[in-house]
């Protein structure tokens, strides 16, 4: 039985592109692997505390950090909803990373998460793709790729990127609605297919 660790961090419980797509992923995962297990953390509904000196000093002996590290260790795959807020990840997701990364325990050269596949739904209201005017403002994919490879040695990181999610609700972005719809459709297909592939791999 494979285990999926599912992390959501979008503030809004409804109408969130990242939540909708992580839900699509989980649905596809369970359809392919119904006996699989899903560990779920909603970081907006139940935020984690920021790292403090006591937790840093305790490391893996800290109760919360040990719990989070155990969830990561149990996971055969990790799914993270990471909407762009102010050009980077939500502070709640940064708190999860700070708590779960424990150097000498699950991070470093011998990290137990090195072979764990990470799928990240990196939604954003505009476009920060290469060649766009705001390419330099993209600190979601860049940051998460660096932290996951740098701390865990992760070798399989896939980003699903629905862009222009604000277009349907912003009159000034009306002409971009077709591009937004195409991006959402592409992201939905990617989430579905990636979940199926990972579930099939671990169910075999």
What b/e string do you get for 104-115 counting C-beta neighbours within 10 Å, with b at 16 or more?
Answer: ebbbeeebebbe
Average pLDDT, rounded, for the chain: 95
Q: Please give the pLDDT value at position 202.
A: 79
- Tell me what the mean pLDDT of segment 50-59 comes to: 96
Q: Return the H-helix or E-strand segment holding 204.
A: none
- Tell me what the mean pLDDT of segment 167-194 comes to: 95
CA pair distance 47, 26, nearest whole angstrom = 21
> Using the 8-state DSSP alphabet, how is residue 81 labeled?
E
SS3 content of the chain, % helix, strand, coil (to 5): 50, 15, 40
Question: Which pair of tokens denotes residue 24?
Answer: 């699509």
With a cut of 80, say whether residue 204 has pLDDT above it. Answer: no
Largest CA distance in the chain: 54
pLDDT in tens, 92-117: 999 999 999 999 899 988 898 999 99
Q: Please give the pLDDT value at position 72.
A: 98
- Tell me what the mean pLDDT of segment 35-56 comes to: 96
pLDDT in tens, 188-203: 999 999 999 999 887 7
pLDDT in tens, 62-74: 999 999 999 999 9
Q: Please give the pLDDT value at position 196.
A: 95
What is the band of 1 on the pLDDT scale with cuts at 50, 70, 90?
Answer: confident
- Tell me what the mean pLDDT of segment 31-49 comes to: 95
What values do phi and psi take at 184, rounded to 5? -65, -40
Bridge partners of 42? 8
Q: Which of 160, 149, 167 is nearest to 113 (CA)?
A: 149
Q: How far is CA 158 from CA 57, 73, 121, in A?
A: 33, 19, 9
3-state SS, residue 4? strand
What is the band of 153 on the pLDDT scale with cuts at 50, 70, 90?
Answer: very high
The pTM for the full model equals 0.95
The answer to whether residues 169 and 2 touch, using CB atoms and an 8 Å cutoff, is no
What values do phi and psi take at 185, rounded to 5? -65, -45
Q: Please give the pLDDT value at position 135.
A: 93
């Amino acid at each position: 039985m494979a285990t999926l660790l599912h992390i959501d961090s979008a503030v809004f419980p409804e109408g969130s592109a990242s939540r909708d797509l992580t839900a699509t992923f989980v649905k596809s995962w369970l359809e392919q692997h119904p006996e699989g297990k899903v560990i779920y953390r909603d970081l907006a509904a139940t935020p984690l505390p920021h790292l403090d000196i006591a937790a840093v000093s305790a490391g893996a002996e800290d109760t919360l950090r040990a719990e989070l590290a155990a969830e990561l260790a149990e996971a055969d795959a990790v799914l993270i909803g990471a909407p762009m807020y102010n050009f980077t990840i939500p502070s709640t997701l940064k708190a999860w990373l700070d708590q779960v990364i424990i150097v000498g325990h699950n991070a470093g050269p011998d990290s137990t998460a090195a072979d764990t596949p990470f799928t990240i739904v990196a939604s954003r209201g505009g476009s920060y793709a290469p060649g766009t005017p705001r390419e330099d403002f993209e600190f979601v994919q860049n940051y998460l790729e660096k932290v996951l490879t740098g701390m865990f040695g992760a070798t399989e990181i896939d980003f699903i990127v629905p862009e222009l999610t604000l277009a349907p609700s912003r009159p000034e972005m009306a002409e971009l609605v077709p591009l937004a719809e195409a991006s959402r459709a592409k992201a939905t297909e990617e989430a579905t297919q990636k979940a199926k592939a990972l579930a099939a791999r671990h169910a075999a």
